[in-house]
Structure 1
Amino acid sequence: MSNLSISWALALVQTLIFVAAAPLMAGWVQRLKCHMQNRAAPVVWQPYRDLAKLLQKDMVLAENASWLFRATPYIVFGITLLGAAAVPLVVVHLPTAAIADLIVLVGFFALARFFTALAALDIGTAFGGMGASREMTVAALAEPAMLMVVFTLSMTAGTTNLSAVTEYVLNAGLVLRPSFLFALFALAMVAVAESGRIPVDNPATHLELTMLHEAMILEYGGRHLALIEWASQIKLMIYAVLIVDFFFPWGIASHYSAEAMALGAVAVTAKVMLLAVVLVAWETVLAKMRLFRVPQFLGFAFLMGLLGMLTSIVLETGG
């Protein structure tokens, strides 16, 4: 078996692991949150049960639903799957590194959001339109902050390629970079907003007037809803792995030996689980903010990214 075939096989396996493990991370977050709030906690594989139940249900579609409404769940899931394939999880330098560009990843997320917003407007319900407008407002504020993080990392690593940035930080060792500290805070705030987590949104809410993402998918059911929920779980894991790869990459495999990849799998599992604990603690001590406070939240994230870029220019590149 040639090295190229092995590389593509590893890329496929890594993507499948990424997609299969995303509901498990969501279950881990849900269980931790219940324990921290003194509530009865479900088992960590509860999201798998929910997805299986939705996949078995019949779909009820509105009479005026167009082809766009029917196709959007598959488009969103496919785009998110491409994003998962581009992010290094256990090993770097896979063949999918060719599309593993940070700006391309931002474009993937924007395209999925675009189709979700169009589908929310397609039926013509009040909550769908309200959720779409709110989601696009958040996106217009979150994407510039995300791009500032991209520019900060690219100025240090000299590239926007995910694998190359990860390997650069890994080879550089433990180096204190003030720009990376600002970028970490900015990326964490963007991840909270983009994933629909507290304080920007509440993924567990059933109050329509406070919904953002959930308001756009109220008309979906059955396998359509399962695909959208699964895509949301993958997106949350993508952001968690991005934080791990960029700022705590130690342990990820840089070659294809079994020992290195086993260590990489253990390392990324431990780091993502720890990051989930931080997320749950964050959501437990904070309350959901009013919609009119979200621009201030994301404006602060943009400021953190901008400070990271300026710090990189002044302190690290001697500009």
Structure 2
Amino acid sequence: MEYSMEAQSKLVPEMMEVMQDRYRMLKFVKVAGPIGRRLLGEMSGLSERETRTMMDFLREQHLISVAKNGTTITAEGNNVLEALELPMEKWSGRVALATRLTELLGVQSVKVVAGDSDANGGTKNLLGMAAAKEFVSGLGDGKTVAVTGGSTVASIPNYINKMNHSNELLFVAARGGVGDDIGLQANVIAASFAEACGGTYNTFYYPESLSEEAHEAFRKEPSVLKMIQVYEKVDCVLHGIGDAQTMANLRGSDAEERHMLNEEGAKGEAFGYYFDRTGKVVHRIRTVGIRPEQLKRVPLLIAISGGRSKAEAILSYMATAPKQTVLVTDEGAANEMVNLLKQ
């Protein structure tokens, strides 16, 4: 199949482009369905006319089903997607890109999905689906899973139940939430994972604006001590990686702290820790949660972050990330990371 597709792309390159567009739309229908035509067009980056034409073709081939509540993929459509996944990933260059980045970063593996999260919001759905696949295939029953907040991590539970994953898992927040959107808080996301998997969850509330004295007192609370013990036995961590200044703004950091982060060269943030381009921790917020040194003994680590603008942030964290880390990212971030690593 690999050589056949390569030969076809040489002889009829426009056919491969059409196939890629149809393949991408079919995948978006799978990850987001039931979905309306307008939203599907936005996710695919196509005009309304192009979207209608492509949907008509996919429906005529019995690959999608269009109903009042939206468009969904059919069983035949699923079979086509599975058959084309590896050949299309190879032809697109994403397999080679992921392999190259895995070597450069020195981690267990890198998974690269199509698109750029900065330019297309639908790419986050692909990130969530890819991360869900890694999670489902890598974790067994009766495990404890820590999750961070953020929109990308929040998208993962949407695709776990579609993979028929149902284990007795305990989900906990890796640390306190950030920002005002309660739907993106780690506690809420942990509950979403539990619902999707049929597992349980523990809530953990810890204010980020505590004084040093209050922080030390709060650390002695029974609920905090209990959670610290849980962190020592975590089997899996699912986390995002944020841009340092963006995360500081989300936390409402004052001008002095933002200036300090800039002066120290902070590029990325994860778990409340800020990293410079070499992976050195240059600042941390007062909180209780998973510590970077604890990650080294966690069997399954999945980092999820995409978008070209996040490339420096991802590299800052990955510079000292544990070797067993699986990075799920997109083409926008992956290509920019390779370019930066060449400099």
TM-score (norm 2): 0.26
User: Which is strand-richer, 1 or 2?
Assistant: 2
Structure number with greater CO (CA < 8 Å, separation at least 6) is 1
Higher Cα radius of gyration: 2
User: Which is helix-richer, 1 or 2?
Assistant: 1
TM-score (norm 1): 0.27
